[in-house]
Structure 1
Amino acid sequence: MTNKKIRVGIIGLNPDSQWASKSHFPALKHLSDDFELVGVANSTYESALKTANALNIPIAFKSAVELIHSNEIDLVTITVKVSSHLNLVKEALYAGKHIYCEHPLGVNLKETMELAELASKCNVVAAVGTQMPFAPEVIYLERLIKENYPGRVLSTSLIGSGIFWSNETMASLYYMYDKAAGATMLNIPLAHTLTGFQKVLGPINTLKAKMISNFSTVKIKDTGEVKPKTAEDQIMIIGDLKSGAAFSIHYRAGMSKGTNFLWEINGTEGDIQVTGNLGHGQFAQLTIMGARHDEKTMTKLDPPRELMAGLPEGLLARNVANLYKAIAYDIRNNTHTAPSFSDSVSLFTLLNAIEASGAAAS
């Protein structure tokens, strides 16, 4: 494939949803020089028809399998629950299609490794939606560190709110409170943030963790039921980076009336502070402040305009669009700039190390 548009089919797109319709759909529309959104498949054909009609998508497929095997589709985007990823991704790999699968790739390390091994044998681009490293603010942060804005990094600390995983939820979201479903606070907001964290400061070297559950049950607000909760609601990690810098991270469930995202980087020549409205670094609005040398107060450090060029205005679509641009580049140039399935194995290995350390400390 050279300059032809990449034809995309999305599995799991609903005009009323809060993610795919507000991120993938506008991102693809904005990148119309590279992509053409051709089809959609949902849990039912009726749902796919509704989406196709509402969003002016040419083809409503009767099933995800039909979409995957269609000659009209080059890239399969998978935005359904993680429990369905394994079978859908395998089907797409066997069909020889390029893939953009939302993170987490699998419900556990075993599934993730299985998919990575299969992808390594296929001549396709197999990307995972860990979008935080593609945020212009994160790209700029990495540049600031490489340019020694704070000098040698001595330590870094990060605190984030997970929004969910407290003691109340809706029936449609209850699966996230079950560790076996693979969509916990560790696997989603903290995992996404760790990809951006390590993009900027480099890999984690050693760690110790503590994971706590303040609530063993969760109330389902729309049904009144009370159900078991196995996903932890407090995650604390300390350790050192490969660079030698000390780090600490604390994620807590729910939302704070104070700070919901605060990341500080302290160096020999200055300090950087990153704040956000949410602990989900992959779609938080991040603000960078900094001070160095003899400066007494921090000033705002805005990413250069060129990092924002060619991106949609909407925050949810912006980072996703940047990742799609990497996928298009990889498809056209046989490169590996987008997050790969192998990257997901590395991330899940880190998550398992956090969980194992937390279990040992309990």
Structure 2
Amino acid sequence: MADRIKVGFIGLNPDSNWAFNAHLPALKTLTDDFEITGVANSTPESGQRTAEAHGLTAFDTPADLVTSDQIDLVVVTVKVPHHFELVRLALNAGKHVYCEWPLGNGLEEARKLAALAEEKGVVAVAGTQARAALEVEHLKTLIADGYVGRVLSTSLIGSGGNWANTTSAALYYLFDKANGGTMEDIPMGHTLAAVRDVLGDFGPLSATKTFNFDTVTVTDTGEERPKTAPDQVMVQGQMASGAALSLHYRGGTNRGTNFLWEINGTEGDIQVTAGLGHAQMVQLTIKGAHGDETELTEQMPDASLYEGKPEFPGARNVAGVYARMANDIRSGSRTAPSFADAVELHEVLDRIERSASNA
């Protein structure tokens, strides 16, 4: 067995949050490839608590972690405004990097990080893990094999979960547009990455963003605070193939449809559904019908593909990204979602933002 890739986390809590719930279970299924070695958090005390809980080495600062010989791969799982500083630190130390999506707080930060990763020649992965979902990979195969024939149109409705009129204190930062973690940045961005994998590049797009709520209630305290992130995002246009595109993301959740993605073609139709608009972390269900069929039936990946993988879809998808990354580090391939891919996705979001701003 090749030497395991030694992983250091920046932003791992001992018993909660995304890194704990998704990254740790993912890596536990890939122990032939990875060894979780160290952690650095916002304070030495926080890092020490996590290290003691998980049997890791605590580093006082992120700078100490990224320069350590104990670390080959730096995983950045902190809030978006801190991505640029910490990822740049790791890249300049010559480490491979896995950074949560969004890669940067806006397009320019993403471009700078992608250029630096290219210069350093390391494997730099952005965590658009919906692209590694078994269901998305299967959907891509169905479309490529002509299940629906020529794609005529695609439409998508998604609920953000957050971004309505209430939030917790811990998540309030998502409601401030300046932090780069809006509904269009996170659930819509993750989902668009999957749409692009399945249906190809986006063509001309026109967008509108609106607000039902200008303030948000922080449930911990009852405080009313400003809200600058839109809670309704509507996009229409075309895929590069010419297929029509219609997309609507809305804040919060509702009693009806929280995720519905339809693909309609000359020979068939596909519906993808879920309980929330975060394609990167929910169980996706695929149904379809083609030819002479008149009713949709389940078109899921083979059940055997799920064996040995985490039950939580978010962790399962993250494991898929890590598996690709391990292969890239060992073989020199580039199969995992890269920083260059992230820049292209940031460019799509930037086009949507500029269209909505000019509306």
Equivalent residues of 1:311, 1:322 under 8 A apart:
no
Q: Which amino acid aligns with 1:15?
A: P
Q: CA deviation at 1:316?
A: 2.1
Q: CA deviation at 1:355?
A: 0.8
Question: Secondary structure of 1:338's partner?
Answer: coil
Structure 2: runs of 5+ lacking an equivalent: none
User: In the alignment, which residue of structure 1 is the partner of 2:51?
Assistant: 52
Q: CA deviation at 1:174?
A: 1.1
User: In the alignment, which residue of structure 1 is the partner of 2:294?
Assistant: 296
User: In the alignment, which residue of structure 1 is the partner of 2:10?
Assistant: 11
TM-score, normalised to structure 1, is: 0.97
User: In the alignment, which residue of structure 1 is the partner of 2:236?
Assistant: 238
Question: Secondary structure of 1:121's partner?
Answer: helix
Equivalent residues of 1:156, 1:245 under 8 A apart:
yes
1:139 lines up with 2:137 in the alignment: yes
Q: What pairs up with 1:337-352 in 2 under 5 angstroms?
A: 337-352=335-350
Of 217-226 and 24-33, more deviation after overlay is shown by 217-226
Distance in 1 of aligned mates of 2:13 and 2:222: 26
Q: CA deviation at 1:304?
A: 2.2
Q: What pairs up with 1:79-94 in 2 under 5 angstroms?
A: 79-94=77-92
Q: CA deviation at 1:224?
A: 2.1
Q: CA deviation at 1:207?
A: 0.7
Q: Which amino acid aligns with 2:202?
A: I
TM-score, normalised to structure 2, is: 0.98
User: In the alignment, which residue of structure 1 is the partner of 2:100?
Assistant: 102
User: In the alignment, which residue of structure 1 is the partner of 2:36?
Assistant: 37
Distance in 1 of aligned mates of 2:24 and 2:245: 37
Distance in 1 of aligned mates of 2:298 and 2:289: 9
User: In the alignment, which residue of structure 2 is the partner of 1:168?
Assistant: 166
Distance in 1 of aligned mates of 2:287 and 2:246: 20
Distance in 1 of aligned mates of 2:80 and 2:2: 32
User: In the alignment, which residue of structure 1 is the partner of 2:176?
Assistant: 178
Q: CA deviation at 1:310?
A: 4.9
Q: Deviations over 1:286-325 (max 9, x none)?
A: 0000111121211111202454355323322100000001
Question: Secondary structure of 1:28's partner?
Answer: helix
- Of 126, 139, 156, the residue aligned with 1:128 is 126
Distance in 2 of aligned mates of 1:112 and 1:24: 22
Distance in 2 of aligned mates of 1:144 and 1:224: 48
Distance in 2 of aligned mates of 1:195 and 1:320: 14
Q: CA deviation at 1:41?
A: 1.2
Distance in 2 of aligned mates of 1:36 and 1:113: 30
Percent sequence identity over matched residues? 55
Equivalent residues of 1:278, 1:285 under 8 A apart:
no
Q: CA deviation at 1:271?
A: 0.7
Q: Which amino acid aligns with 1:350?
A: V
Question: Secondary structure of 2:71's partner?
Answer: coil
Q: Which amino acid aligns with 2:45?
A: E
- Of 313, 322, 331, the residue aligned with 1:333 is 331
User: In the alignment, which residue of structure 1 is the partner of 2:358?
Assistant: 360
Equivalent residues of 1:171, 1:221 under 8 A apart:
yes
Q: Which amino acid aligns with 2:3?
A: K
Q: How big is the alpha-carbon RMSD for the aligned residues of Structure 1 and Structure 2?
A: 1.2
Q: What pairs up with 1:200-239 in 2 under 5 angstroms?
A: 200-239=198-237
Of 241-250 and 215-224, more deviation after overlay is shown by 215-224
Distance in 1 of aligned mates of 2:287 and 2:171: 35
Distance in 1 of aligned mates of 2:300 and 2:107: 37
Structure 1: runs of 5+ lacking an equivalent: none
Question: Secondary structure of 2:17's partner?
Answer: coil
User: In the alignment, which residue of structure 2 is the partner of 1:150?
Assistant: 148
Distance in 2 of aligned mates of 1:179 and 1:106: 13
Q: Deviations over 1:322-353 (max 9, x none)?
A: 00011101100111111111111111111011
Q: Which amino acid aligns with 1:151?
A: G
User: In the alignment, which residue of structure 1 is the partner of 2:260?
Assistant: 262
Question: Secondary structure of 1:226's partner?
Answer: strand
Distance in 1 of aligned mates of 2:314 and 2:200: 25
Q: Which amino acid aligns with 1:260?
A: N
User: In the alignment, which residue of structure 2 is the partner of 1:193?
Assistant: 191
Aligned residues: 359
Q: Deviations over 1:232-261 (max 9, x none)?
A: 000000111111110100000001111110
Distance in 1 of aligned mates of 2:276 and 2:166: 18
Question: Secondary structure of 1:236's partner?
Answer: strand
Q: Deviations over 1:140-192 (max 9, x none)?
A: 00000011011111111000000001111111111111111000001100000
